[in-house]
Amino acid sequence: MEVTYLTAINQALHEEMRRDESVFIMGEDVAELGGAFKVTEGLLDAFGENRVIDMPISESLIVGAGIGAAILGMRPVVEMQFSDFIACAFDQIVNTAATLRYRHGGRAACPLVIRSPSGAGVHGALFHSQNPEAWFTRVPGLKVVAPATPYDAKGLLKSAIRDGNPVLYFEHKRLYRSIKEDLPEGDFTVPIGVAELRQSGKDLSIITYGGTLNQCLDAARIVEKEDGLSVEVLDLRTLLPLDREAILATARKTGKVLIVHEDRVTGGIGGEVAAIIAENAFDSLDAPIRRVGAADTHLAFSPPMEEFILPNSNKIVEAIRSLAAY
């Protein structure tokens, strides 16, 4: 049966809460309303108000309470209603959750999941469109994942809930109801830290994740049909830790690399990926590493302006052709 990206997340939450009584949900409007996007719909009826908890509009409080519960042996899944407001809990995430195991010499754990609906393309403007994942990918002690398919959305969330470390789980809002996939019956997980090769190719490589994966696959199909180019597409899936072996393998195979993400180009995780390739596979490159991302500006409310700022399949096609011709 085909399920949406949103339903896959909802299924993972139901299954993990049934499997482990220490798993519970906290966030703004996650109980009575079922979440702003209906991701937590049905959980209150299934598990009751002690395990599905509506919280005040205070991200620092939500994450702080989650850290406390995790230290005491629970497995909280807390929701940032929009990833833009994760900045309000930056101190709790970076200075408390991320450092806890280190500060206690490995004798304490913080099994906390922070679900964070992110991304643009939904005309959410300044405060409901950001991709803040790169803020956290330089922090030891955290894990950061960004699924691009329903299968990965379900499997990575289940892995995150079972992990003994704080995991930031970025789910792209534009994908919630726009993509569907057949999911296998029974329990399955997707390993954190392992990239997935979505398409094999020989002429150049695209490295991407999250909301731009399908744009990259569309662009690859266009240039294959119109230009005869064979494009490899690697989906990172996990941004911390990065799958360095997969990144270097595709770079060495094709010799030309295009990195695509919806986050801004400056300071985005693409810069780190490019550095890994430049430092370890420079001799295999036949062209400079290229990046496609959002413009270095704030997200506009105007749909034409938002489209101008964001990456899309046409922009990726142009970058592929330019790189291939180098």
Sign of torsion over alpha carbons 95, 100, 105, 110:
negative
In a 10 Å sphere around its CB, with 0-12 CB exposed, 13-18 middle and 19+ buried, how is residue 239 labelled? Answer: buried
Query: Amino acid identity, residue 247?
Result: I
Catalytic residue among 14, 104, 123, 128: 128
123 flagged as catalytic: no
Of 123, 120, 46, 29, nearest to 81 (Cα)?
Answer: 29
Q: What letters, b where the CB count within 10 A reaches 16 and e where it falls short, cover 162-191?
A: bbebbbbbbbbbbbbeebebebeeeeeebe
Alpha carbons 44 and 64: distance in angstroms, whole number: 22
| E strand or H helix at 197 | strand 196-199
Sheet strands (E) in 40-186: 52-54, 75-79, 113-118, 143-145, 167-172, 180-182
112 vs 166: CA distance, rounded Å = 5
Strand 204-208 and strand 257-264: pairing? parallel
What is the sign of the dihedral through the CA atoms of 182, 186, 187 and 193? negative
How far is residue 169's CA from residue 290's CA, in Å, rounded to a whole number? 27
**d(C-alpha 275, C-alpha 235), whole Å:** 18
Instruction: Kindly state the helix (H) or strand (E) to which residue 206 belongs, with its residue range.
Output: strand 204-208
Residues belonging to the active site: 128
